[in-house]
Structure 1
Amino acid sequence: MRFSSYFRHPEKNIALVFDVGSESVGGAVVRRARGDRPTTLCSYREPVPLVRNADPEQLLWQATEALKLVARHLDRFIATDTTFPASERRDFDEIFFVVSPPWYAGKTLFVETREKKPFTVTPPFLQGILEREETALAESFFPPGAPGKARDAVSLLERKIMRLRLNGYETAVPLGKHASHLELSLYLSAAPATVVNRIVGAVRKTFNARRIEFHSLAFVASAMIRDLFAESENFIFADASGELTELSLIERGVILETTSFPIGRNGLIRRLRKDITGSSTEAALSAFRVFARGEGNPEHSEKVRRALSEAEAEWLGLFRKTLAHFSEAAFLPRVLYILAPDPATTQIFRSFIEKSPVGQFTVTAEPFTVVPLSAETLEQAALYGTNTHCDPTMTLAALFLNRIHIEEGL
């Protein structure tokens, strides 16, 4: 079947998806399919240049410029099918964005309502709870007394009821039921409206869409890990791809906690650039990869090890502090899934984690089993077009979009 015929399919099962991180920006043309794996017809990733001091405004500018390049690359791919009408090549029903820190903040809220007399759970009743919590999250982006209305300055990305109990019993169909006690686990993610507008604006220079939807990487990854690894109902998800490391604690399919701290892969590269290679980012990246593979000569490897040791100690301190916070509610699961942009980053952070004594936090008092979310781990979960290979983040996004396709009956 020719590429253009996918676009003419009455089910409109083609979507564009973009992954906006702080280390790189990716994009893909995805064909979704009910009862089958999604197909990534084309994917492309553009690095975000490493800014000197992680200035937020400069970082956002670099990321949106990379996003424009990714959109143009996908546009060129689509244009290779000369039979596809030129007037329709840039108009899509759906464009999805998956964003990573620092572009969003996510939080799970635990809401409880108890009344002396039974109440009926109605749409307005639930809507009132949701709006109240959304406002509180929006206001958390700004200090007290900040000008403007918080809700106007923040864009809500996701609002997902992950668990709901009535009178102590979990239910997936609460509407119309009577109860005197309601417990709600609500996942919310939001981003500054200026960030959302600039991300959308970068793509709209190339493509138009009827529907634009944002999702957080933590939500997408945690949902797909549960689908792909049936035994993993309780786990930790770690993303160390860019400026930050994000950790999410998942229990029985619910994101209990998600937090981030300001040392990720980019911080390690800056340290190498400063201590070993001067101002060359490429030389620092090369040294990083050689060290991760264990291929450098002993003298060079020792220089890299010393350069990374301070960052490693700082990262491990923040990692253990986060785990201690997570463990206040319960013992932690043994399995940790890690997502990183390349094998070198995965190996470095995996070695950090394996050095950290975490037995006191886990149920079995044993170290974490670290599972990389790599191309090797994920490539069988999806299909790929000619000359297209598994990009782990884009594959997770394609699988997530396929699930939405099925759930919405598109």
Structure 2
Amino acid sequence: MFNFFGFFGDKNKKETALIFDIGSGSVAGALLEFSPQKNPKILYSRREDIKFQKNLQGARFKKEMYKSLGLVLEDLRKNILANSGHLRVFRRALCSLASPWFISETDFIKIEKEKPFLVTEEFLSKNILEAEKRFEDSSLAKYGSDRKQESEIIEKKIVDIRLNGYKTDEPLGKESQSVELSVFLSMSQKSVLDDIEDLVLEFFHLENLAYHSFGLVSFSAARDMYDRVSNFLLLDITGEVTDVSLIREKNIVKTISFPQGKNSVIRGLAKDLKIESGEAHSKLRLLFSSSLKKPNEEALRKKIEKHRSLWLQEFQKSLDFLSDGLSLPSTIFFTADDDFSSWYGEVIKSEKYAEHTMTEGSFIVSFINSSSLGSFVEFESNKKDTFLGIISLFFKKVFELNG
């Protein structure tokens, strides 16, 4: 695998890089331009749906993801050749993995001593390594003893640190009697990482390729975009999976996933009406864009009511797990495909559901889209891809921090 260390060099000049979004419903890639004092700019992008499966099967699902990635890479390569006449060596590339391509956990560590002690790199590294070991052991317990050989840690990042109870961004060289660390860890299947890298290298020359989970990417972006909001729930509703994260005091506390997403609704409606998935998807698009006549709209809403209820039941279970008996934040930020975003927004805010939550008040729901990103990311063309925009914002932040 490529080494992330040394990933960033001279940060004073304008550069271009490649970014990729590996989701459960689609795959995307983009050519990104970035420099320290400016917003990142997406010069060109391509998104390709992963072929819809009537019955979801792991091996076939993975194969179709690779096919979609290949189409994205081929299109990016053609565009770069058409505009520059040659293929350069890209120094930087970042690949974001959405569920189900990663698993994650936040480890909370608290060290207290009678006398103040110095916080050093060695001290932090030691605690990160111990957190990594605990994460690997817990994953082995959940997913089987062969998981360690099959998996690879892709992130082990301190997302919050407090000295004597006070948050700080510069702990090194300071003395404290207590240190609290929040370490975000994620892992992915090694064969998936290797296959993605091999495929990318068939089309492009890279010096470095870094992997990150969309869980960390979206959390980082949301925290920066809405810096006045300290406590919130963050949802990523993808093709096959929904991720729900609890953020307290700008710190990612817990994340849980459940296997219900956009494609679950399409698959269910297609089965109920005995039609093809493409036709079911078209009907839902018309419904959610308010393009159906009243009788047809009411009939279709009744048909998808049970799928709405299924998603809500899983969401309720997720909130029960995240709350641990405590009240949850009333602010929700969520990402989803544009064609389903209005419906999911309505579902989350529904009165019937809100009555059964333990929130601090009624849900305040905000959809993160290209308009939300307007002050942070520049889109060169009319193709304003929200997920690539979020990844671009994260890329710039990592570039500046590690430059």
How high is the TM-score relative to the length of structure 1? 0.88
* Equivalent residue number for residue 296 of structure 1: 292
Provide closer, same or farther for how the CA distance between residues 168 and 233 of structure 1 changes in structure 2, counting only shifts above 3 A. closer
Q: Which amino acid aligns with 2:388?
A: M
Aligned length: 391
The whole-number CA distance in structure 2 between the counterparts of 1:276 and 1:145 is: 36
Provide the residue aligned with 1:172 in structure 2: 169
Q: 2:187 aligns with which of 185, 190, 215?
A: 190
Where does residue 122 of structure 2 map in the other structure?
A: 124
* CA deviation string 1:222-249 (max 9, x = no partner): 2222222333222211111211111111
Q: Any idea what SS the aligned residue of 2:341 has? A: helix
Asked if the contact 2:12/2:36 (under 8 Å) is kept, the reply is: no
What residue is the counterpart of 2:159 in the other structure? 162
1:168-201 residue CA offsets vs partner (Å, 9 max, x unmatched): 3333333344444332111111111112112222
Q: Deviations over 1:332-386 (max 9, x none)?
A: 22221111112x31112112111121575222x2x2111111233324432222x
TM-superposition CA deviations, 1:207-229 (whole Å, max 9, x none):
12111111221221222222223
Q: Please say if residues 75 and 90 of structure 1, whose CA atoms lie closer than 8 Å, have aligned partners that are also in contact.
A: no
Provide the secondary structure at the position in 1 that maps to 2:92. strand
**Counterpart selection for 1:378 from 359, 373, 376:** 373
Match of 2:354 in 1: 357
Select the residue among 388, 393, 398 that pairs with 1:404. Answer: 398
Name the aligned partner's letter for residue 222 of structure 1: F
Which stretch of the first structure deviates more once superposed, 33-42 or 289-298?
289-298
Q: Distance in 1 between matches of 2:222 and 2:179?
A: 29
User: Is residue 151–residue 188 contact of structure 2 (8 Å, CA) maintained in 1?
Assistant: yes
State whether residues 32 and 405 of structure 1, in contact with CA within 8 Å, keep that contact through their aligned partners in structure 2.
Answer: no
User: After alignment, is 326-335 or 73-82 more displaced?
Assistant: 326-335
The question of whether the paired residues in 1 share the 8 Å contact of 2:14 and 2:34 is answered with no
Distance, in Å, in 1 between the alignment partners of 2:96 and 2:81 is 24
Percent identity between matched residues is 28
Equivalence map 1:333-344=2 (5 Å): 333-342=329-338, 344=339
SS of 1:128 mapped into structure 2: helix
Read off the aligned partner of 2:73 and give its amino acid letter: A
Contact 2:13/2:35 (8 A) holds in 1: no
Separation in 2, partners of 1:80, 1:126: 47
Which of 254, 263, 267 is the aligned partner of 1:257? 254
Instruction: Tell whether 2:35 aligns with 1:33.
Output: yes
Match of 1:312 among 294, 308, 323: 308
Secondary structure in structure 2 of the residue aligned to 1:350: helix
Whole-Å separation in 2 of the counterparts to 1:114 and 1:295? 61
Describe the SS at the equivalent of 1:14: strand
> How far did residue 42 of structure 1 move?
0.1
- Deviating beyond 6 angstroms after TM superposition, the runs of 4 or more aligned structure 1 residues are none
Distance change >3 Å, CA 349–CA 125, structure 1 → 2: same
Aligned letter for 1:28? A
AA matched with 1:56? G
d(CA) in 1 for partners of 2:29, 2:180 = 38
Task: Give, in angstroms, the shift of residue 96 of structure 1.
Answer: 0.4
Q: Which runs of 5+ in 1 are unaligned?
A: 1-8
Which one-letter code corresponds to 1:61 in the other structure?
A: K
What SS class does the counterpart of residue 373 from structure 2 fall into?
A: helix
Alpha-carbon shift at residue 93 of structure 1 (Å): 0.5
- Relative to 1, partners in 2 of residues 1:12 and 1:56: Cα closer, same or farther, differing over 3 Å? farther
Write the letter of the residue equivalent to 1:397: I
Q: 1:136 is matched by which residue type in structure 2?
A: R
Give the CA deviation at 1:144.
7.7
More off after superposition, 222-231 vs 200-209: 222-231
Rounded Cα–Cα distance in structure 2 between residues aligned with 1:109 and 1:10: 35
For residues 287 and 170 of structure 2, the distance between their equivalents in structure 1, rounded to whole angstroms, comes to 53
SS at match of 2:354: coil
For structure 2, the 5+ residue unaligned runs are: 1-10
Query: Residues 271 and 146 of structure 1: is their aligned pair in 2 closer, same or farther, counting only changes over 3 Å?
Result: closer
Is the CA contact 2:223–2:250 (under 8 Å) kept in the aligned structure 1? yes
Cα distance between partner residues in 2 of 1:145 and 1:359: 32
Deviates more, 1:198-207 or 1:58-67: 198-207
Once the two structures are overlaid, the 10-residue window that deviates more, 176-185 or 304-313, is 176-185
1:140 Cα deviation after fit: 3.3
Query: How many angstroms does 1:388 deviate by?
Result: 4.1
| TM-score for the superposition, normalised by structure 2 | 0.90
What CA distance in whole angstroms lies between the structure 2 residues aligned with 1:248 and 1:350? 17
Measured on the aligned residues, the alpha-carbon RMSD in Å equals: 2.3
CA distance in structure 2 between the partners assigned to 1:325 and 1:294 by the alignment: 35
Q: Which amino acid aligns with 2:35?
A: A
